[in-house]
Structure 1
Protein backbone atom coordinates (compact mmCIF):
# COMPACT_ATOMS: atom_id res chain seq x y z
CA UNK A 1 0.00 0.00 0.00
CA UNK A 2 1.16 3.53 -0.76
CA UNK A 3 -1.58 5.63 0.82
CA UNK A 4 0.75 8.41 1.95
CA UNK A 5 2.92 8.93 -1.11
CA UNK A 6 3.90 12.60 -1.34
CA UNK A 7 2.54 13.37 2.12
CA UNK A 8 4.32 14.63 5.21
CA UNK A 9 3.60 13.37 8.73
CA UNK A 10 4.68 14.50 12.17
CA UNK A 11 4.52 11.97 15.01
CA UNK A 12 5.28 13.12 18.54
CA UNK A 13 7.02 10.57 20.73
CA UNK A 14 7.85 8.62 17.59
CA UNK A 15 11.14 7.10 18.71
CA UNK A 16 9.73 4.20 20.75
CA UNK A 17 6.64 2.16 21.54
CA UNK A 18 3.37 2.98 19.82
CA UNK A 19 4.84 6.15 18.30
CA UNK A 20 7.65 4.22 16.65
CA UNK A 21 5.20 1.70 15.19
CA UNK A 22 3.08 4.56 13.81
CA UNK A 23 6.11 6.36 12.33
CA UNK A 24 7.29 3.16 10.65
CA UNK A 25 3.84 2.38 9.26
CA UNK A 26 3.37 5.84 7.74
CA UNK A 27 6.92 5.79 6.37
CA UNK A 28 6.44 2.33 4.87
CA UNK A 29 3.30 3.58 3.14
CA UNK A 30 5.13 6.41 1.47
CA UNK A 31 5.05 9.36 3.87
CA UNK A 32 7.98 11.55 4.70
CA UNK A 33 7.91 11.16 8.47
CA UNK A 34 9.24 13.53 11.11
CA UNK A 35 9.26 12.58 14.77
CA UNK A 36 9.43 14.92 17.73
CA UNK A 37 10.75 13.85 21.14
CA UNK A 38 13.64 14.22 23.52
CA UNK A 39 16.80 12.88 21.97
CA UNK A 40 17.70 11.73 18.47
CA UNK A 41 15.75 9.52 16.09
CA UNK A 42 17.86 7.16 13.99
CA UNK A 43 14.99 5.92 11.78
CA UNK A 44 13.09 9.05 10.75
CA UNK A 45 13.82 12.77 10.60
CA UNK A 46 13.93 13.70 14.26
CA UNK A 47 13.24 17.01 16.00
CA UNK A 48 14.36 17.47 19.62
CA UNK A 49 11.47 18.74 21.73
CA UNK A 50 10.75 19.29 25.43
CA UNK A 51 7.06 18.45 25.79
CA UNK A 52 6.80 20.20 29.14
CA UNK A 53 7.04 23.44 27.13
CA UNK A 54 4.01 23.66 24.78
CA UNK A 55 5.45 26.65 22.95
CA UNK A 56 8.66 24.82 22.17
CA UNK A 57 6.71 21.71 21.17
CA UNK A 58 4.51 23.61 18.76
CA UNK A 59 7.69 24.95 17.16
CA UNK A 60 8.21 21.43 15.83
CA UNK A 61 5.28 22.05 13.48
CA UNK A 62 6.96 25.12 12.02
CA UNK A 63 10.20 23.20 11.66
CA UNK A 64 8.48 20.45 9.66
CA UNK A 65 6.60 22.94 7.50
CA UNK A 66 9.81 24.86 6.85
CA UNK A 67 11.81 21.76 5.91
CA UNK A 68 9.13 19.87 3.97
CA UNK A 69 6.93 22.71 2.70
CA UNK A 70 3.71 21.11 3.97
CA UNK A 71 2.12 19.01 6.71
CA UNK A 72 -0.56 16.42 5.98
CA UNK A 73 -0.76 14.29 9.12
CA UNK A 74 -0.27 15.20 12.78
CA UNK A 75 -0.17 12.37 15.32
CA UNK A 76 -0.12 13.52 18.94
CA UNK A 77 1.32 10.47 20.66
CA UNK A 78 3.82 11.70 23.27
CA UNK A 79 2.65 11.36 26.84
CA UNK A 80 3.55 10.56 30.43
CA UNK A 81 2.06 8.87 33.48
CA UNK A 82 2.53 9.35 37.20
CA UNK A 83 0.93 7.10 39.80
CA UNK A 84 -0.48 8.70 42.95
CA UNK A 85 -3.72 9.27 44.79
CA UNK A 86 -5.20 12.76 44.41
CA UNK A 87 -4.16 13.76 47.92
CA UNK A 88 -0.61 12.58 47.23
CA UNK A 89 -0.32 14.36 43.88
CA UNK A 90 1.48 17.69 44.05
CA UNK A 91 0.17 20.58 42.03
CA UNK A 92 3.45 20.56 40.10
CA UNK A 93 3.05 16.88 39.16
CA UNK A 94 -0.60 17.44 38.19
CA UNK A 95 0.31 20.38 35.98
CA UNK A 96 3.22 18.52 34.37
CA UNK A 97 0.95 15.62 33.39
CA UNK A 98 -1.77 17.91 32.05
CA UNK A 99 0.82 19.96 30.16
CA UNK A 100 2.48 17.02 28.43
CA UNK A 101 -0.66 14.98 27.77
CA UNK A 102 -3.21 17.70 26.95
CA UNK A 103 -1.85 21.24 26.69
CA UNK A 104 0.98 20.30 24.33
CA UNK A 105 -1.36 18.43 21.93
CA UNK A 106 -3.58 21.53 21.98
CA UNK A 107 -0.57 23.71 21.10
CA UNK A 108 0.52 21.29 18.36
CA UNK A 109 -2.95 21.32 16.81
CA UNK A 110 -3.13 25.11 17.03
CA UNK A 111 0.18 25.45 15.21
CA UNK A 112 -0.66 22.75 12.65
CA UNK A 113 -4.14 23.89 11.63
CA UNK A 114 -3.10 26.43 8.95
CA UNK A 115 -0.87 23.84 7.30
CA UNK A 116 -3.44 21.03 7.55
CA UNK A 117 -6.19 23.29 6.25
CA UNK A 118 -4.11 24.04 3.15
CA UNK A 119 -3.92 20.36 2.17
CA UNK A 120 -7.02 18.82 3.76
CA UNK A 121 -4.94 17.09 6.42
CA UNK A 122 -5.76 14.90 9.38
CA UNK A 123 -5.10 14.80 13.11
CA UNK A 124 -4.94 11.61 15.17
CA UNK A 125 -4.63 12.00 18.94
CA UNK A 126 -3.43 9.02 20.96
CA UNK A 127 -5.49 8.82 24.12
CA UNK A 128 -6.13 5.80 26.31
CA UNK A 129 -8.92 3.63 27.63
CA UNK A 130 -8.14 5.51 30.83
CA UNK A 131 -9.90 8.46 29.28
CA UNK A 132 -12.99 6.27 29.53
CA UNK A 133 -12.29 4.31 32.73
CA UNK A 134 -9.58 4.31 35.37
CA UNK A 135 -6.91 2.17 36.91
CA UNK A 136 -6.03 2.90 40.55
CA UNK A 137 -3.88 5.94 41.38
CA UNK A 138 -4.09 7.45 37.90
CA UNK A 139 -6.13 10.60 38.53
CA UNK A 140 -3.93 13.05 36.61
CA UNK A 141 -3.39 10.65 33.71
CA UNK A 142 -7.10 9.83 33.43
CA UNK A 143 -8.06 13.50 33.52
CA UNK A 144 -5.58 14.33 30.77
CA UNK A 145 -6.75 11.49 28.52
CA UNK A 146 -10.42 12.34 29.05
CA UNK A 147 -9.45 15.85 28.00
CA UNK A 148 -7.93 14.48 24.79
CA UNK A 149 -11.32 12.94 23.94
CA UNK A 150 -13.08 16.27 24.43
CA UNK A 151 -10.42 18.19 22.50
CA UNK A 152 -10.71 15.72 19.62
CA UNK A 153 -14.47 16.22 19.32
CA UNK A 154 -14.19 19.99 19.57
CA UNK A 155 -11.53 20.24 16.88
CA UNK A 156 -13.60 17.99 14.61
CA UNK A 157 -16.72 20.10 15.11
CA UNK A 158 -14.90 23.36 14.44
CA UNK A 159 -12.65 22.34 11.56
CA UNK A 160 -13.99 19.33 9.65
CA UNK A 161 -15.90 21.59 7.28
CA UNK A 162 -12.53 23.15 6.43
CA UNK A 163 -11.24 19.75 5.38
CA UNK A 164 -9.34 18.96 8.59
CA UNK A 165 -10.51 15.76 10.26
CA UNK A 166 -9.63 14.90 13.86
CA UNK A 167 -10.00 11.54 15.58
CA UNK A 168 -8.57 9.86 18.67
CA UNK A 169 -7.35 6.34 19.36
CA UNK A 170 -7.73 4.90 22.86
CA UNK A 171 -5.36 1.93 23.30
CA UNK A 172 -5.64 -0.55 26.13
CA UNK A 173 -2.77 -2.76 27.31
CA UNK A 174 -0.19 -2.69 24.51
CA UNK A 175 3.12 -4.56 24.54
CA UNK A 176 5.41 -1.56 24.41
CA UNK A 177 8.97 -1.95 25.67
CA UNK A 178 7.92 -0.30 28.94
CA UNK A 179 5.03 -2.71 29.51
CA UNK A 180 7.13 -5.72 28.55
CA UNK A 181 9.82 -4.64 31.02
CA UNK A 182 7.13 -4.25 33.69
CA UNK A 183 5.87 -7.78 33.06
CA UNK A 184 9.40 -9.18 33.14
CA UNK A 185 9.96 -7.49 36.51
CA UNK A 186 7.14 -9.52 38.08
CA UNK A 187 8.04 -12.53 40.29
CA UNK A 188 6.16 -14.77 37.83
CA UNK A 189 6.21 -13.06 34.40
CA UNK A 190 4.53 -15.97 32.61
CA UNK A 191 1.76 -16.10 35.18
CA UNK A 192 1.26 -12.36 35.10
CA UNK A 193 1.03 -12.36 31.30
CA UNK A 194 -1.46 -15.21 31.44
CA UNK A 195 -3.60 -13.34 33.99
CA UNK A 196 -3.47 -10.04 32.11
CA UNK A 197 -4.51 -11.89 28.97
CA UNK A 198 -7.57 -13.24 30.75
CA UNK A 199 -9.08 -9.78 31.23
CA UNK A 200 -9.21 -9.40 27.43
CA UNK A 201 -11.92 -11.24 25.46
CA UNK A 202 -9.37 -11.88 22.69
CA UNK A 203 -7.18 -13.61 25.28
CA UNK A 204 -4.04 -11.49 24.90
CA UNK A 205 -2.58 -8.01 25.07
CA UNK A 206 -2.12 -5.82 22.00
CA UNK A 207 0.82 -4.98 19.77
CA UNK A 208 2.05 -1.48 18.84
CA UNK A 209 1.70 -2.44 15.17
CA UNK A 210 -2.02 -3.06 15.67
CA UNK A 211 -2.48 0.47 16.98
CA UNK A 212 -0.42 1.77 14.06
CA UNK A 213 -2.76 0.03 11.60
CA UNK A 214 -5.75 1.86 13.04
CA UNK A 215 -3.92 5.19 13.07
CA UNK A 216 -2.86 4.75 9.45
CA UNK A 217 -6.45 4.10 8.41
CA UNK A 218 -7.72 7.16 10.29
CA UNK A 219 -4.97 9.31 8.74
CA UNK A 220 -5.71 8.06 5.24
CA UNK A 221 -8.35 9.09 2.73
CA UNK A 222 -10.07 5.74 3.30
CA UNK A 223 -11.64 7.19 6.46
CA UNK A 224 -12.73 10.43 4.78
CA UNK A 225 -16.21 10.38 6.41
CA UNK A 226 -14.84 9.70 9.92
CA UNK A 227 -14.18 12.58 12.30
CA UNK A 228 -14.72 13.48 15.94
CA UNK A 229 -14.57 9.86 17.10
CA UNK A 230 -12.67 8.04 19.83
CA UNK A 231 -11.64 4.58 18.61
CA UNK A 232 -11.02 2.07 21.39
CA UNK A 233 -8.44 -0.62 20.61
CA UNK A 234 -8.25 -2.86 23.65
CA UNK A 235 -9.04 -6.45 22.69
CA UNK A 236 -12.56 -6.02 24.04
CA UNK A 237 -11.41 -5.19 27.59
CA UNK A 238 -13.77 -2.25 28.09
CA UNK A 239 -16.69 -4.31 26.78
CA UNK A 240 -16.24 -7.05 29.38
CA UNK A 241 -18.09 -6.87 32.69
CA UNK A 242 -16.10 -8.17 35.66
CA UNK A 243 -17.18 -11.21 37.63
CA UNK A 244 -16.46 -12.16 41.29
CA UNK A 245 -13.08 -13.85 41.64
Structure 2
Protein backbone atom coordinates (compact mmCIF):
# COMPACT_ATOMS: atom_id res chain seq x y z
CA UNK A 1 0.00 0.00 0.00
CA UNK A 2 1.26 3.47 -0.88
CA UNK A 3 0.10 6.93 -1.87
CA UNK A 4 1.55 7.53 -5.32
CA UNK A 5 -1.96 8.16 -6.67
CA UNK A 6 -3.53 9.67 -3.56
CA UNK A 7 -6.52 11.84 -4.48
CA UNK A 8 -6.45 10.78 -8.14
CA UNK A 9 -9.50 9.46 -9.97
CA UNK A 10 -8.72 6.58 -12.31
CA UNK A 11 -10.81 4.75 -14.90
CA UNK A 12 -10.00 1.18 -15.92
CA UNK A 13 -12.02 -0.23 -18.81
CA UNK A 14 -12.58 -3.97 -18.89
CA UNK A 15 -11.51 -4.08 -15.27
CA UNK A 16 -13.70 -6.82 -13.85
CA UNK A 17 -11.33 -9.71 -14.50
CA UNK A 18 -7.78 -10.70 -15.39
CA UNK A 19 -5.24 -8.01 -16.15
CA UNK A 20 -7.86 -5.26 -15.85
CA UNK A 21 -8.82 -6.29 -12.30
CA UNK A 22 -5.15 -6.50 -11.28
CA UNK A 23 -4.62 -2.98 -12.63
CA UNK A 24 -7.69 -1.59 -10.87
CA UNK A 25 -6.67 -3.07 -7.53
CA UNK A 26 -3.05 -1.94 -7.88
CA UNK A 27 -4.09 1.66 -8.57
CA UNK A 28 -6.42 1.50 -5.57
CA UNK A 29 -3.49 0.21 -3.47
CA UNK A 30 -1.75 3.50 -4.19
CA UNK A 31 -4.66 5.69 -3.13
CA UNK A 32 -6.58 6.20 -6.37
CA UNK A 33 -10.35 6.29 -6.51
CA UNK A 34 -10.85 3.63 -9.18
CA UNK A 35 -13.88 3.27 -11.44
CA UNK A 36 -14.14 -0.01 -13.33
CA UNK A 37 -16.06 0.28 -16.58
CA UNK A 38 -17.19 -3.05 -18.00
CA UNK A 39 -20.12 -4.81 -19.63
CA UNK A 40 -19.69 -7.73 -17.26
CA UNK A 41 -20.23 -7.71 -13.52
CA UNK A 42 -18.10 -10.49 -12.03
CA UNK A 43 -17.70 -9.06 -8.56
CA UNK A 44 -19.11 -12.20 -6.98
CA UNK A 45 -16.46 -14.33 -8.73
CA UNK A 46 -13.58 -12.62 -6.92
CA UNK A 47 -14.43 -10.45 -3.95
CA UNK A 48 -10.85 -9.41 -3.21
CA UNK A 49 -10.50 -5.65 -3.26
CA UNK A 50 -14.04 -5.05 -4.52
CA UNK A 51 -14.93 -2.70 -1.68
CA UNK A 52 -12.22 -0.29 -2.88
CA UNK A 53 -13.56 -0.13 -6.44
CA UNK A 54 -16.57 1.52 -8.04
CA UNK A 55 -18.26 -0.49 -10.81
CA UNK A 56 -20.17 1.19 -13.63
CA UNK A 57 -21.64 -0.23 -16.81
CA UNK A 58 -19.70 0.56 -19.98
CA UNK A 59 -19.80 -0.66 -23.57
CA UNK A 60 -16.69 0.72 -25.30
CA UNK A 61 -18.17 -0.07 -28.73
CA UNK A 62 -20.98 2.45 -28.25
CA UNK A 63 -20.27 6.17 -28.22
CA UNK A 64 -23.43 6.95 -26.25
CA UNK A 65 -22.40 4.48 -23.53
CA UNK A 66 -18.95 6.05 -23.27
CA UNK A 67 -20.37 9.55 -23.09
CA UNK A 68 -22.84 8.54 -20.36
CA UNK A 69 -20.11 6.68 -18.46
CA UNK A 70 -17.73 9.66 -18.46
CA UNK A 71 -20.55 12.01 -17.45
CA UNK A 72 -21.42 9.67 -14.59
CA UNK A 73 -17.82 9.55 -13.36
CA UNK A 74 -17.60 13.34 -13.41
CA UNK A 75 -20.90 13.75 -11.61
CA UNK A 76 -19.80 11.39 -8.84
CA UNK A 77 -16.09 12.19 -8.53
CA UNK A 78 -15.67 15.62 -10.13
CA UNK A 79 -12.49 14.88 -12.12
CA UNK A 80 -10.56 12.26 -14.10
CA UNK A 81 -6.79 11.98 -13.72
CA UNK A 82 -5.97 8.55 -15.15
CA UNK A 83 -7.48 6.57 -18.01
CA UNK A 84 -6.44 2.94 -18.55
CA UNK A 85 -7.79 1.56 -21.82
CA UNK A 86 -7.70 -2.15 -21.02
CA UNK A 87 -10.89 -3.55 -22.55
CA UNK A 88 -10.07 -5.90 -25.39
CA UNK A 89 -10.85 -9.16 -27.16
CA UNK A 90 -9.21 -11.63 -29.52
CA UNK A 91 -10.48 -13.81 -32.36
CA UNK A 92 -8.46 -16.89 -33.28
CA UNK A 93 -9.21 -17.46 -36.99
CA UNK A 94 -7.37 -17.66 -40.27
CA UNK A 95 -7.92 -14.85 -42.77
CA UNK A 96 -10.17 -17.20 -44.78
CA UNK A 97 -12.38 -17.83 -41.76
CA UNK A 98 -12.54 -14.24 -40.52
CA UNK A 99 -15.66 -12.35 -41.49
CA UNK A 100 -16.07 -8.63 -41.94
CA UNK A 101 -18.17 -8.73 -38.78
CA UNK A 102 -15.27 -10.33 -36.87
CA UNK A 103 -12.93 -7.61 -38.11
CA UNK A 104 -15.35 -4.80 -37.27
CA UNK A 105 -16.00 -6.20 -33.78
CA UNK A 106 -12.28 -6.35 -32.94
CA UNK A 107 -11.72 -2.86 -34.29
CA UNK A 108 -14.68 -1.54 -32.30
CA UNK A 109 -13.50 -3.00 -28.98
CA UNK A 110 -9.71 -2.83 -29.28
CA UNK A 111 -9.13 0.39 -31.22
CA UNK A 112 -12.28 2.47 -31.60
CA UNK A 113 -12.98 2.05 -27.87
CA UNK A 114 -9.66 3.58 -26.72
CA UNK A 115 -10.09 6.40 -29.25
CA UNK A 116 -13.57 7.25 -28.00
CA UNK A 117 -12.58 6.96 -24.34
CA UNK A 118 -9.75 9.42 -24.94
CA UNK A 119 -12.05 11.71 -26.92
CA UNK A 120 -14.43 12.10 -23.98
CA UNK A 121 -11.90 12.03 -21.14
CA UNK A 122 -9.31 14.41 -22.59
CA UNK A 123 -11.42 17.59 -22.26
CA UNK A 124 -11.62 16.99 -18.49
CA UNK A 125 -7.89 16.30 -18.24
CA UNK A 126 -7.24 19.44 -20.24
CA UNK A 127 -9.47 21.39 -17.85
CA UNK A 128 -7.43 20.34 -14.81
CA UNK A 129 -4.17 20.74 -16.71
CA UNK A 130 -2.84 17.21 -16.32
CA UNK A 131 -3.60 13.57 -16.92
CA UNK A 132 -2.20 10.22 -17.95
CA UNK A 133 -3.56 7.74 -20.46
CA UNK A 134 -2.24 4.19 -20.41
CA UNK A 135 -3.31 1.93 -23.25
CA UNK A 136 -2.96 -1.82 -23.05
CA UNK A 137 -1.41 -2.88 -26.33
CA UNK A 138 0.34 -6.17 -26.95
CA UNK A 139 3.61 -7.62 -28.15
CA UNK A 140 1.39 -8.68 -31.06
CA UNK A 141 1.51 -5.08 -32.21
CA UNK A 142 4.93 -5.91 -33.66
CA UNK A 143 5.08 -9.74 -33.73
CA UNK A 144 2.16 -12.01 -34.43
CA UNK A 145 0.83 -15.40 -33.40
CA UNK A 146 -0.80 -17.50 -36.14
CA UNK A 147 -4.42 -16.69 -36.94
CA UNK A 148 -4.31 -13.34 -35.13
CA UNK A 149 -4.33 -11.06 -38.17
CA UNK A 150 -7.19 -8.86 -37.00
CA UNK A 151 -6.03 -8.78 -33.37
CA UNK A 152 -2.51 -7.78 -34.36
CA UNK A 153 -3.86 -5.05 -36.63
CA UNK A 154 -5.89 -3.57 -33.77
CA UNK A 155 -2.93 -3.61 -31.38
CA UNK A 156 -0.62 -2.00 -33.94
CA UNK A 157 -3.35 0.62 -34.27
CA UNK A 158 -3.34 1.16 -30.50
CA UNK A 159 0.39 1.79 -30.68
CA UNK A 160 -0.16 4.39 -33.40
CA UNK A 161 -2.96 5.99 -31.39
CA UNK A 162 -0.59 6.25 -28.44
CA UNK A 163 2.00 8.11 -30.50
CA UNK A 164 -0.57 10.53 -31.86
CA UNK A 165 -2.10 11.28 -28.45
CA UNK A 166 1.32 11.77 -26.86
CA UNK A 167 2.29 14.33 -29.50
CA UNK A 168 -1.03 16.16 -29.63
CA UNK A 169 -1.76 16.25 -25.89
CA UNK A 170 1.72 16.86 -24.50
CA UNK A 171 1.27 20.66 -24.59
CA UNK A 172 -1.85 20.20 -22.41
CA UNK A 173 0.09 18.37 -19.70
CA UNK A 174 -1.33 14.98 -20.70
CA UNK A 175 0.91 11.96 -21.21
CA UNK A 176 0.04 8.78 -23.12
CA UNK A 177 1.89 5.45 -23.12
CA UNK A 178 1.19 1.81 -23.89
CA UNK A 179 2.01 -1.35 -21.95
CA UNK A 180 2.54 -4.36 -24.21
CA UNK A 181 2.01 -7.62 -22.30
CA UNK A 182 3.60 -10.88 -23.32
CA UNK A 183 2.06 -14.21 -22.29
CA UNK A 184 0.31 -13.55 -18.98
CA UNK A 185 -1.30 -16.11 -16.68
CA UNK A 186 -4.92 -15.04 -17.01
CA UNK A 187 -8.13 -17.09 -16.96
CA UNK A 188 -8.40 -16.66 -20.72
CA UNK A 189 -4.90 -17.96 -21.39
CA UNK A 190 -5.28 -20.78 -18.87
CA UNK A 191 -8.44 -21.92 -20.68
CA UNK A 192 -6.48 -21.98 -23.93
CA UNK A 193 -3.71 -24.08 -22.35
CA UNK A 194 -6.23 -26.50 -20.84
CA UNK A 195 -7.53 -27.32 -24.32
CA UNK A 196 -4.32 -29.27 -24.95
CA UNK A 197 -3.98 -32.86 -23.68
CA UNK A 198 -0.49 -32.35 -22.20
CA UNK A 199 -0.95 -29.19 -20.16
CA UNK A 200 2.35 -29.51 -18.28
CA UNK A 201 4.29 -29.71 -21.55
CA UNK A 202 2.55 -26.62 -22.92
CA UNK A 203 3.22 -24.67 -19.71
CA UNK A 204 6.89 -25.68 -19.74
CA UNK A 205 7.36 -24.72 -23.37
CA UNK A 206 5.56 -21.43 -22.87
CA UNK A 207 7.95 -20.61 -20.04
CA UNK A 208 10.93 -21.52 -22.22
CA UNK A 209 9.87 -18.97 -24.84
CA UNK A 210 10.84 -16.29 -22.32
CA UNK A 211 14.51 -15.77 -21.44
CA UNK A 212 13.47 -15.16 -17.82
CA UNK A 213 12.20 -18.76 -17.82
CA UNK A 214 8.52 -18.25 -17.03
CA UNK A 215 5.32 -16.55 -18.14
CA UNK A 216 4.07 -13.35 -16.52
CA UNK A 217 1.48 -12.56 -13.86
CA UNK A 218 -1.29 -9.93 -14.08
CA UNK A 219 0.24 -8.01 -11.16
CA UNK A 220 3.39 -7.47 -13.22
CA UNK A 221 1.38 -5.67 -15.90
CA UNK A 222 -0.40 -3.74 -13.14
CA UNK A 223 2.93 -2.58 -11.70
CA UNK A 224 3.99 -1.21 -15.09
CA UNK A 225 0.67 0.61 -15.48
CA UNK A 226 1.02 2.09 -12.00
CA UNK A 227 4.46 3.46 -12.85
CA UNK A 228 3.17 5.07 -16.04
CA UNK A 229 0.12 6.49 -14.25
CA UNK A 230 2.21 8.04 -11.48
CA UNK A 231 4.57 10.99 -11.34
CA UNK A 232 7.47 8.52 -11.19
CA UNK A 233 7.27 8.51 -15.00
CA UNK A 234 6.59 12.23 -15.44
CA UNK A 235 8.94 12.62 -18.45
CA UNK A 236 7.80 9.43 -20.21
CA UNK A 237 5.27 9.77 -23.02
CA UNK A 238 4.66 8.12 -26.36
CA UNK A 239 6.34 4.87 -25.34
CA UNK A 240 5.41 1.25 -26.01
CA UNK A 241 6.79 -0.66 -23.01
CA UNK A 242 6.95 -4.44 -23.36
CA UNK A 243 6.39 -6.48 -20.21
CA UNK A 244 7.24 -9.86 -21.66
CA UNK A 245 10.24 -11.41 -19.92
CA UNK A 246 12.40 -10.47 -22.95
CA UNK A 247 10.42 -12.80 -25.20
CA UNK A 248 10.41 -10.32 -28.07
CA UNK A 249 14.13 -9.64 -27.71
CA UNK A 250 15.28 -13.22 -28.34
CA UNK A 251 16.01 -14.15 -31.96
CA UNK A 252 14.51 -17.49 -32.92
CA UNK A 253 16.96 -20.38 -33.25
CA UNK A 254 16.72 -23.83 -34.85
CA UNK A 255 15.25 -26.25 -32.31
CA UNK A 256 18.53 -28.11 -31.69
CA UNK A 257 20.45 -24.89 -30.97
CA UNK A 258 17.65 -23.58 -28.80
CA UNK A 259 17.79 -26.75 -26.71
CA UNK A 260 21.54 -26.24 -26.19
CA UNK A 261 20.94 -22.62 -25.17
CA UNK A 262 18.31 -23.62 -22.60
CA UNK A 263 20.49 -26.42 -21.28
CA UNK A 264 23.30 -23.95 -20.58
CA UNK A 265 20.90 -21.64 -18.77
CA UNK A 266 19.70 -24.42 -16.48
CA UNK A 267 23.09 -26.09 -15.92
CA UNK A 268 24.38 -25.57 -12.34
CA UNK A 269 27.28 -23.12 -12.25
CA UNK A 270 30.52 -24.06 -10.44
- TM-score, normalization: structure 2? 0.88
Residue matched to 2:38: 37
Residue matched to 1:165: 175
| Distance in 2 separating the partners of 1:87 and 1:210 | 36
Residue matched to 1:197: 207
Aligned length: 245
After TM superposition, the structure 1 = structure 2 runs for residues 134-213 of structure 1, keeping only pairs within 5 Å, are 134-213=144-223
| Distance in 1 separating the partners of 2:38 and 2:215 | 26
User: After TM superposition, which residue ranges in structure 1, 4 or more long, deviate above 4 angstroms?
Assistant: none
| Conserved? CA contact 2:60–2:117, under 8 Å | no
Give CA-to-partner distance per residue, 1:101-138, whole Å, 9 cap, x none: 00011000000001112331100000000011111111
Residue matched to 1:219: 229
Partner SS for 1:216: helix
After TM superposition, the structure 1 = structure 2 runs for residues 56-75 of structure 1, keeping only pairs within 5 Å, are 56-75=65-84
Partner SS for 2:152: helix
Structure 1 stretch displaced more, 53-62 or 94-103: 53-62
Residue matched to 2:3: 2
The CA deviation at 1:216 is: 0.2
Give CA-to-partner distance per residue, 1:190-212, whole Å, 9 cap, x none: 11100111110000000000000
| Conserved? CA contact 1:79–1:101, under 8 Å | yes
Structure 1 stretch displaced more, 109-118 or 202-211: 109-118
| Conserved? CA contact 1:35–1:41, under 8 Å | no
After TM superposition, the structure 1 = structure 2 runs for residues 4-23 of structure 1, keeping only pairs within 5 Å, are 4-23=5-24
The CA deviation at 1:184 is: 2.8
Residue matched to 2:56: 47
| Distance in 1 separating the partners of 2:224 and 2:232 | 11
| Distance in 1 separating the partners of 2:167 and 2:191 | 40
Residues 1:234 and 2:244 are matched in the alignment: yes
The CA deviation at 1:224 is: 0.5
Listed as ranges, the gaps of 5+ residues in structure 1 are none
The CA deviation at 1:41 is: 5.6
Residues 1:103 and 2:112 are matched in the alignment: yes
| Conserved? CA contact 2:15–2:37, under 8 Å | yes
| Distance in 1 separating the partners of 2:148 and 2:88 | 14
| Distance in 1 separating the partners of 2:42 and 2:236 | 31
| Conserved? CA contact 2:17–2:42, under 8 Å | no
| Conserved? CA contact 1:174–1:207, under 8 Å | yes
The CA deviation at 1:244 is: 1.3
Give the structure with higher Rg (CA).
Answer: 2
The CA deviation at 1:182 is: 2.2
